[in-house]
Chains A and B, each alone.
Chain A
Amino acid sequence: MLPCATKAQTGNAAIPHGTVELVAENQWIEPAHESYLGLHFELEKGWHIYWVNPGDSGEPPRVAWQLPTGVTVGEIQWPAPQRLGTTSIVDFGYEDGVTLLVPVRVEPSLAAKSPAQAQFGAQVKVLVCREICIPGKAQLSLTVRIQPQPSAADLQTRELFAAARKSQPHSPPSNWKFSVADLKDAFVLTASLGRRVKDATFFPLAESQIDNAAAQKLVPEGSGFRLTLRKSDRLLKPIERLKGVLVVSGGGSYLIDVPVDKRAATGKAESEAKQP
């Protein structure tokens, strides 16, 4: 086993009330295989940053990558968000810190170069808030060895990535069924999970679809529930699908993508949606 050669990192970069760091999950990257980096934010207590849909206010972190030929980076994979804010202004984000996962890929041709390594540059812009908001900017760089053999986890970052994966929303079990009714002022998400659920919250991936501050009224049904999602005042056109993260009491967050049924909803769903 080779001694652990250093992966050149700039370490932590300062952001308002915290730090941000770019880390590799593995000790080296295997070409033509998916590998992961983590964008790890640590914040002072009570400070937060935002989810891809920030909610009523705020702005999600933005990353501009500087990559050499043969190195590509995929979409950020966001952990399930928390509901933040007040009763009238509701945001979605992460308090005290978060690790965003980024899939990366390296072309086999880079393995032949000397030194065989991939350089990742990332300019991160992030809004950090508590009672007030402060915009920050950090330039990160990371160099990771490339080796044409299966990667080994980096022990130092193993816990970090385990926690990051745990907080990722999962695909729902195949026996779960969802439908969405399109009412005049609300979407009604019907979920059949095979068990009773006391509490659930839906976080839409897209902005301006639902009223973020409105309570999401849940009516239990034998094998699941109906959740009323008041529409946003900004929603001007019908939507084809409702996509987002469903957090369910008793465990877990799930990424769901449900077609919106535009046929007339049942009278029961309509009258439930009207109740304050």
Chain B
Amino acid sequence: MKRSPRFPILIALLICAVPLLMASPKVGETAPDFTALASNGKSFHLADYRGNYVVLEWHNNGCPYVGKHYKSGNMQRLQKQWTDRGVVWFTVISSAPGKQGYVTASEENDYLAKTQATPTAALLDPAGEIGHLYDAKTSPQMVVINPQGVVIYDGAIDDKPTTDLSDVPGATNYVSLALEQALAGKPVGTPTTRPYGCSVKYAN
């Protein structure tokens, strides 16, 4: 269908607006910037962390797939292992108020203390802005960003898409694999996988 040339400005605006409506950033593209309030009361701006690897961990404390990684201590181990090496780790909670996984700042702080989780910060995203920016579909879902601000991994935490605790020890962890490969200057062998878990509980 031929577009009418009578309204060039309107057409230009439409063309410019489309990228904002498009779906998730792909691996290899710049990670979309955001500013978020964390459960510790501080504000975090992603662009401030250029120069660091950054991990985004989508989280819902009621989801059994997330539960597998927290009950086993797996997520806590990963957080400690990688933050000890200078990686910035953001747990992101995009559940809308009233939905599973939604937490107030103090509830999240209690959860972090109880589970002995040590992300750099737990970002509260009840409006789902960061979630939609990254098209986060499940919890857990993991995004790894390199020091140049480019997404190098987006997808599942590992290759065992189940709720079984027994599937944690033998699993290939895609987050650690991506970080290890990137830190060694190698290409990331598995840059994206289907994330597994419960759907992110956005507002209706």
Give the B-binding residues of A (Cβ under 8 A): 56-59, 85-86, 88-89, 91, 125, 127, 129, 131-135, 207-208, 211, 213-214, 232-234, 236, 276
Is A233 touching B163 in the complex (CB atoms < 8 A)? no
Size class of B's contact patch?
20 to 34
Q: How far is the CA of A276 from the CA of B20 in the complex (A)?
A: 13
Is A133 touching B202 in the complex (CB atoms < 8 A)? no
Interface centre among B18, B24, B194 (most CB of A within 10 A): B194
Is B138 touching A56 in the complex (CB atoms < 8 A)? yes
B50 sits at the interface (CB 8 A)? no
B162 sits at the interface (CB 8 A)? yes
Task: Give chain A's interface secondary structure class.
Answer: loop
| Shortest Cβ distance from B161 into A: residue | A59
Known: A133-B198, A211-B23. A88 touches B163 (CB 8 A): no
* B179-201 CB contacts (< 8 Å) to partner A: 191-194, 196-201
16 A-B pairs within 8 Å (CB atoms) are namely A56-B138, A56-B199, A57-B197, A88-B132, A88-B135, A91-B199, A125-B162, A127-B64, A131-B100, A131-B201, A132-B100, A135-B163, A207-B194, A211-B23, A213-B23, A234-B155
The count of A-to-B residue pairs whose CB atoms sit within 8 angstroms is 66
Residues of B within 8 A of A56 (CB): 137-138, 199
The 8 Å CB contact of A57, one of B193, B198, B204, is B198
Known: A59-B196, A132-B63; 14 extra A-B contacts, CB below 8 A, are A56-B137, A59-B163, A88-B132, A127-B64, A131-B201, A133-B63, A208-B193, A214-B23, A233-B24, A233-B135, A234-B155, A234-B194, A236-B191, A236-B192
Residues of B within 8 A of A233 (CB): 23-24, 26, 135, 154, 192
